[in-house]
Structure formats: C-alpha cells, structure tokens
C-alpha cells in the first residue's frame, strides 16, 4: 500500500566507502544519507534544505535509481523502485525526470536543442517520427523559448535559457514526478526568479 503517496522514501541510507592503502582496504564511509524518510503526494512539492554536501543531490539520484541505496526503501506509486530490473527502471525514467543543477554541463554541446529535447521522446517511444518536431516546438513555447531556437546549440544561449531547455527536456515525456536538483543555484540572481516562476507556472498548468 502506498496510502496515496506518489513517492515515498523509508529509512533511506547511502554510504560511500573510503578505501586506503595498496590493497584498497575499506577503512571508513562517508554517510551522505542517513535514515531519511518522507512522502510526496501527487501535486505536492517537497523542498530539501541543507548546506552543501548534506546529501540533497544524493537523495534525488537515489529516487531516480541513478545511484544504488545502501539501505532502505523507495516506492513510486506503491512499487519498490530499488527492486526493479533494468527494463522496469527504463520505464520508470519515463515517469520520473530530473532538472540538473548546472544547465551547461547537463546539455550535450554537440547536439542541437531539437536533438536534446527530442532524445527522451525517441528513447521512450513517446512520439512518432513525424510528430517529434511539432512536440519540440510545443515544449519550447511552454518554457518561454521560440521555435527557431531548436536549430541552435547550447553555447548560443544564456544560463537561464539553457535551464529552460533542460526543463523542456524533462517535460518531454510527460513525467509524473520531477527532481529539481537546485536548478537555479548556478544562475545569476536576476534570472533565478524567472526560472522559479516558470517552474511554478508549469506545475499549475500541467
């Protein structure tokens, strides 16, 4: 039973081992996540507050199975994420997406914006070949960009515009849940409010 929760983490732990010596002996652990529990219902936003290195990013990656958990349980719509096989995890990625902290590092500099946004559509089979361009244009408009931006490359955009591209990519597969990994921390203060307002507007619209 998930008791209505979209995402639920129970007693979640993630330790990173420290090795030393010629034999690379395990000598200690970095406790990135230590007994964290929470639940998120559909339509809710949960904010994790903590200083740098407190495990916020690690928790997001655990939820998406980008990292294995040391101990605990994560459930999405009542199903255990940690017990899923590869094909199940791939399907899960169509329902759970992430907006990364650094919009430049998260975008392939050799791909056009059209290719970046359409990539998840192709991977998850979310649109026929003839519908992809139309879907890309819809997503660009949704995040406040123009159709002609589709032919440009990431380096041609400002930080705020690149983050809008990252948001469009995350929305491409109509996810039910999105992890926002400090999506404005790498942006100028003047742009941060614009991106936060965009995310709030999208949550209400979608």
**pLDDT number for residue 179:** 95
Give me 91's structure tokens.
């399907």
Pairing of strands 79-80, 25-41: unpaired
pLDDT higher than threshold 50 for residue 44: yes
Q: Are the C-beta atoms of 55 and 20 separated by less than 8 Å? A: no
**pLDDT number for residue 125:** 86
Give strand pairing partners of 75: 8, 80
**pLDDT number for residue 187:** 87
**pLDDT number for residue 139:** 96
**pLDDT number for residue 1:** 46
Mean pLDDT of the chain, nearest integer: 92
Give me 147's structure tokens.
């159709």
134 — pLDDT class (breaks 50, 70, 90): very high
CA 118, distance to chain mean position in Å, is: 16
| 129 vs 77 pLDDT, higher one | 77
pLDDT higher than threshold 70 for residue 2: no
pLDDT higher than threshold 90 for residue 205: no
**pLDDT number for residue 3:** 64
Residue range 72-126, pLDDT digits in tens: 999 999 999 998 999 999 889 899 999 999 888 999 999 999 999 999 999 888 8
> Which range among 123-127, 149-153, 179-183 shows the weakest confidence by mean pLDDT?
123-127
**pLDDT number for residue 4:** 78
Whole-number Å distance between alpha carbons of 1 and 78 = 6
130 — pLDDT class (breaks 50, 70, 90): confident
pLDDT higher than threshold 50 for residue 169: yes
pLDDT higher than threshold 60 for residue 46: yes
Helix (H, G, I), strand (E, B) or coil at 19: strand
pTM to 2 decimals?
A: 0.88
């Amino acid at each position: 039973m998930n008791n209505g929760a979209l995402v639920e983490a129970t007693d979640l732990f993630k330790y990173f081992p420290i090795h030393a010596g010629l034999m690379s002996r395990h000598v200690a652990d970095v406790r990135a996540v230590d007994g964290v529990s929470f639940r998120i219902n559909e339509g809710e936003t949960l904010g994790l507050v903590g200083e740098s290195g407190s495990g916020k990013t690690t928790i997001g990656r655990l939820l998406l199975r980008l990292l294995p958990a040391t101990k605990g349980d994560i459930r999405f719509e009542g199903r255990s994420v940690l017990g899923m096989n590869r094909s199940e995890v791939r399907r899960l990625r169509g329902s759970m997406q992430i907006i990364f902290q650094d919009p430049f590092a998260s975008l392939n500099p050799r791909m056009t914006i059209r290719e970046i946004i359409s990539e998840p559509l192709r991977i998850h089979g979310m649109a026929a070949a003839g519908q992809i361009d139309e879907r890309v244009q819809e997503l660009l408009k949704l995040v406040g960009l123009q159709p002609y931006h589709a032919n440009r490359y990431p380096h041609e955009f400002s930080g705020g515009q690149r983050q809008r591209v990252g948001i469009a990519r995350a929305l491409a597969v109509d996810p039910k849940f999105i992890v926002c990994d400090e999506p404005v921390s790498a942006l100028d203060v003047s742009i941060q409010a614009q991106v936060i307002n965009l995310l709030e507007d999208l949550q209400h619209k979608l």
